């Protein structure tokens, strides 16, 4: 359940066990392995309603007592006073385990591999499609439920039959099997970041890589994060404080779907599970039906701009009121895909406060001042929050005009075309990104260095319920992760040495070093706040400074540095899911590896097929008459390679943009000021100021339109503050299942509309009326 920091007094992670009673050496801990389940498994604890929890003084807390959950909310995990973090997740995460449940079975492989290949292929196709949805993990979870039970039906597959050492039907389809299907699928069911490199090398640079180097690029960039993920489990997985908020939503969805008939549950737990399932199904069906309105029939609901509706003839009202091209003042959204994009139901309230604080401060305070005083010619740009690149006449900058026939930078053409202008918001977003990166290092060092040292100590043994449960299973040896890292790093070295990727070996090593340095600080922030600080800006900046004039080298450096950390964090979050649900670590590892490798292979086959069959539409030679195929995504990636690689930051950040470098200094200074300010004046609660999250919120537009601010903020306050305090027990029991139902219903609707009306079966853009204007759905354009 979301954590409320409203009454927190200290902003620190909980201290790891330090007493002789709670900390045991590895030898004494190993003696308990055979008694773990007898020690903590209680029938009344159940899988869902949290069960009895051992307090720090050995007394039991009743999870059904509202006061217990109220204390859990107020005693959130950032408090450094030995608070019981387990109480915060007691109503969501299983507290017992049945090691006899089937896990990595043949039907897991059949379903997981099928969904993985389907998702990877579909995602790669969607990459070249206009207005295509993402391949939803909720689709896999929901589709697995009937398919898994179908394969467990003895009428379909009789019991007792084996093939190649695998039992075809080992019995009831278990929750652990369902989780492994989801993990296997999600590990590969996306478009690999490196596919962008292959696309632009083929479509724009006319230097396509052959099959083996292409596969090596895809596999190494996807798998190299495994080695890093395995090395940080003691820091980002095992500690209860590293609870990964969005993972709790997934856990409650799985337990709701698969625990209704469990005989291990008490009557009250079975009743609660049944109620949760009813709540999920009701909300899912209602949202699935409702989302057809903002997605297809009444698209104005996505962004209801009050100022534009009052008078869209005024430039100021359009600029202030539009969510798509303006600041989103008085703009309401009634589309859950927008409202739910910030995770308002499960993200800790303190994190939402920092995030929305940065977003509101930038969009509704700083930007109006910039516009009023016309700083950096703000009023001359088509949109004040555009991420586009402009020339001196404030028209779209023609990247191709500054390139030679071999696609290298033409210095003479650059001198004629310069300067390259950014909107004030986009320029400042780079400063905020720089500040977030330096800030996350300083913040974690100031507040969490002691916890990191304790987690790295070999004598530290965590004795919370989940760590005890996991002792029943063999861990993944560190040598597996180190070996995987070494193999992929070695393959990457060979790859950059023999291919025209424009990246020397030292640059590859540096990109990996950047990922390794930021993994733990960024991971800690992500694990407790649901906010991830990306390395995309830093890696392309560093590559541009150190390797100017090498556009392919720039994006390759960015891919290895950015994806190594991003993939490591994604895998770490999956490991936490397995930790919560007692999945054998080695089977989790196998599913992650299988999914990642198969996904990369499917990406490559699909990518090559599409580029061969649809090339004229993708490289801009011809416009697809159906409007379905487009090269917009690789074109954007190509432009970024030219700006950061060919033009390079030395030319890019000039003419007044040098001030943006101060972001690095600001990011380091603010956490120091807040840290020592809190010690000097604790009453001001500066411990709650997490500057990296503030910077993340300040730079999120235009990745997300500004319609997320008003309605998203209202939902966050109502759900994570008012409702959590007013009805703490109901909040703990239902908030995550409500969130999963809203997200699942929305994503399935988007997928359904794409299949039914997006050109797969039929092409239809919805009715043409005021609420579904073909000119501008939010009515900020004249004539709409």
User: Could you tell me the two tokens for 712?
Assistant: 């998203």
Dihedral angle at the C-alpha atoms of 60, 62, 67, 72, nearest 10 degrees? 70
**Is residue 451 pLDDT above 90, yes or no?**
no
d(CA 121, CA 125): 6
CA 219 vs CA 46, 73, 188: distances in Å: 41, 43, 11
- What pLDDT shows up at residue 86? 66
Output the CA angle 675-677-681, nearest 5 degrees: 125
pLDDT tens for each residue of 90-143: 777 888 899 999 999 999 999 999 999 999 999 999 999 877 778 889 999 999
With cut-offs at 50, 70 and 90, classify the pLDDT of residue 261. Answer: low
**Is residue 706 pLDDT above 60, yes or no?**
yes
Most confident stretch, 21-30, 45-54, 86-95, 166-175? 166-175
**Closest C-alpha to 630, from 205, 194, 127:** 127
Residue the block writes with tokens 């001359």: 380
- Lowest mean pLDDT, pick from 49-58, 315-324, 353-362, 664-673: 49-58
- What pLDDT shows up at residue 87? 66
283 vs 549, higher pLDDT? 283
| Mean pLDDT score of the chain | 85
With cut-offs at 50, 70 and 90, classify the pLDDT of residue 145. Answer: very high
pLDDT tens for each residue of 325-372: 999 999 999 999 999 999 999 999 999 999 999 999 999 999 999 999
d(CA 611, CA 600): 16
**Is residue 470 pLDDT above 90, yes or no?**
yes
Output the CA angle 225-227-231, nearest 5 degrees: 115
pLDDT tens for each residue of 45-102: 333 333 333 233 333 444 444 444 444 444 343 333 334 456 667 777 888 899 999 9
User: Could you tell me the two tokens for 641?
Assistant: 């390679």
- What pLDDT shows up at residue 46? 35
User: Could you tell me the two tokens for 539?
Assistant: 């890696």
- Lowest mean pLDDT, pick from 128-142, 313-327, 555-569, 686-700: 128-142
- Give how far the C-alpha of residue 612 lies from the chain's centroid of Cα atoms, to the nearest Å: 32
User: Could you tell me the two tokens for 396?
Assistant: 């779209």
d(CA 717, CA 702): 23
**Is residue 15 pLDDT above 90, yes or no?**
no
- What pLDDT shows up at residue 11? 28
Residue the block writes with tokens 């101060």: 662
- What pLDDT shows up at residue 673? 97
Where do the H-state alpha helices sit in 62-152?
A: 66-74, 106-126, 137-152
d(CA 245, CA 736): 10
Handedness of CA 262, 265, 267, 270 (dihedral sign): negative
Strands 162-163 and 166-167: antiparallel
**Closest C-alpha to 424, from 134, 656, 638:** 656
CB atoms under 10 Å from CB of 761, counted, come to: 10
734 Cβ contact partners less than 8 Å away, ≥ 6 residues apart: 276, 279
CA 649 vs CA 14, 209, 368, 655: distances in Å: 41, 27, 28, 12
- What pLDDT shows up at residue 497? 95
- What pLDDT shows up at residue 265? 64
- What pLDDT shows up at residue 279? 96
Question: Helix (H, G, I), strand (E, B), or coil: what is residue 265?
Answer: coil
The percentage of the chain sitting over the pLDDT mark of 70, rounded to a whole number, equals: 87
**Is residue 520 pLDDT above 60, yes or no?**
yes
d(CA 698, CA 696): 5
Between the two ends of the chain, the Cα-to-Cα distance in Å is 43
């Amino acid at each position: 359940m979301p954590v409320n920091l409203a009454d927190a007094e200290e902003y620190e992670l909980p201290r790891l066990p330090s007493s002789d009673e709670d900390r045991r050496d590895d030898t004494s801990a190993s003696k308990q392995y055979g008694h773990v389940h007898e020690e903590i498994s209680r029938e009344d604890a159940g899988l869902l309603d949290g069960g009895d929890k051992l307090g720090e003084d050995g007394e039991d807390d009743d999870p059904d007592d509202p006061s217990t959950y109220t204390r859990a909310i107020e005693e959130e995990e950032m408090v450094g006073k030995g608070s019981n973090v387990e109480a915060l997740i007691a109503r969501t995460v299983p507290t017992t385990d049945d090691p006899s449940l089937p896990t990595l079975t043949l039907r897991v492989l059949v379903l997981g591999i099928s969904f993985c290949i389907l998702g990877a292929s579909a995602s790669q196709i969607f990459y070249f499609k206009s207005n295509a949805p993402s391949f939803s993990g909720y689709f896999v979870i929901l589709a697995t439920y009937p398919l898994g039970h179908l394969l467990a039906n003895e009428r379909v597959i009789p019991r007792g039959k084996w093939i190649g050492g695998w039992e075809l039907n080992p019995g009831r389809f278990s929750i652990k099997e369902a989780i492994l299907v989801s993990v296997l699928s999600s590990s590969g069911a996306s478009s690999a970041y490196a596919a962008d490199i292959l696309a632009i090398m083929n479509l724009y640079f006319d230097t396509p890589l052959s099959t083996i180097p292409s596969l090596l690029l895809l596999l190494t960039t996807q798998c190299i994060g495994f080695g890093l993920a395995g090395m940080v489990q003691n820091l980002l997985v095992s500690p209860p404080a590293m609870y990964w908020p969005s993972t709790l939503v997934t856990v409650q969805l799985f337990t709701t779907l698969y625990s209704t008939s469990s005989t291990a549950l008490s009557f009250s737990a079975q009743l609660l599970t049944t109620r949760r399932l009813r709540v999920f199904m009701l909300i899912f069906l209602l949202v699935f039906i409702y989302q057809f309105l903002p997605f297809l029939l009444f698209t104005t609901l996505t962004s209801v701009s009050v100022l534009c509706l009052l008078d869209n003839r005024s430039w100021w009202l359009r600029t202030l009121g539009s969510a798509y091209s303006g600041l989103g003042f008085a703009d309401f959204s009634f589309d859950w895909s927008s409202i739910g994009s910030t995770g308002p139901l499960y993200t800790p309230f303190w994190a939402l406060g920092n995030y929305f604080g940065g977003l509101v401060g930038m969009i509704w305070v700083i930007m109006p001042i910039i516009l009023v005083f016309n700083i950096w010619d703000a009023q001359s740009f088509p949109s004040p929050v555009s991420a586009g690149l402009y020339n001196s006449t404030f028209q779209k900058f023609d990247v191709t005009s500054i390139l030679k026939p071999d696609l290298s930078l033409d210095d003479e053409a650059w001198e004629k075309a310069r300067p390259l202008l950014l909107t004030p918001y986009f320029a400042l977003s780079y400063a905020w990104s720089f500040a977030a990166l330096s800030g996350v290092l300083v913040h974690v060092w100031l507040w969490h260095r002691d916890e990191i040292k304790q987690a790295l100590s070999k004598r530290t043994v965590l004795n919370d319920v989940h760590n005890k449960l996991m002792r029943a299973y063999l861990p993944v040896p560190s040598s597996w992760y180190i070996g995987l890292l070494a193999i992929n790093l070695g393959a990457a070295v060979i790859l950059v040495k023999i291919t025209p990727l424009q990246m020397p070996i030292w640059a590859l090593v540096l990109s990996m070093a950047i990922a390794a340095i930021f993994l733990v600080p960024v991971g800690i922030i992500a694990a407790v706040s649901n906010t991830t600080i990306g390395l995309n800006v830093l890696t392309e900046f560093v590559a541009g400074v150190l390797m100017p004039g090498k556009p392919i080298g720039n994006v390759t450096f960015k891919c290895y540095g950015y994806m190594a950390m991003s993939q490591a964090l994604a895998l770490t979050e999956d490991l936490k899911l397995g930790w919560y649900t007692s999945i054998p670590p080695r089977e989790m590892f196998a599913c992650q590896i299988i999914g990642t490798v198969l996904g990369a292979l499917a990406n490559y086959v699909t990518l090559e097929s599409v580029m061969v069959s649809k090339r004229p539409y993708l490289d801009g030679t011809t416009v697809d008459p159906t409007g379905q195929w487009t090269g917009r995504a690789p074109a954007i990636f190509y432009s970024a390679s030219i700006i950061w690689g060919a033009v390079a930051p030395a030319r890019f950040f000039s003419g007044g943009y040098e001030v943006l470098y101060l972001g690095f200094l600001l990011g380091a200074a603010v956490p120091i000021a807040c840290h020592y300010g809190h010690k000097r004046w604790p009453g001001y609660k500066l411990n709650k100021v997490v500057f990296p999250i503030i910077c993340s919120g300040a730079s999120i537009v235009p990745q997300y339109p500004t319609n997320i601010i008003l309605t998203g903020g209202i939902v966050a306050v109502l759900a994570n503050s008012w409702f959590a305090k007013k009805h703490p027990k109901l909040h703990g029991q239902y908030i995550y299942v409500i969130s999963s139902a809203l997200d699942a219903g929305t994503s399935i609707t988007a997928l359904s509309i794409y299949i039914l009306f997006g050109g797969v079966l039929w092409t239809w853009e919805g009715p043409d009326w005021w609420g579904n204007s073909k000119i501008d759905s939010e009515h900020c354009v004249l004539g709409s």
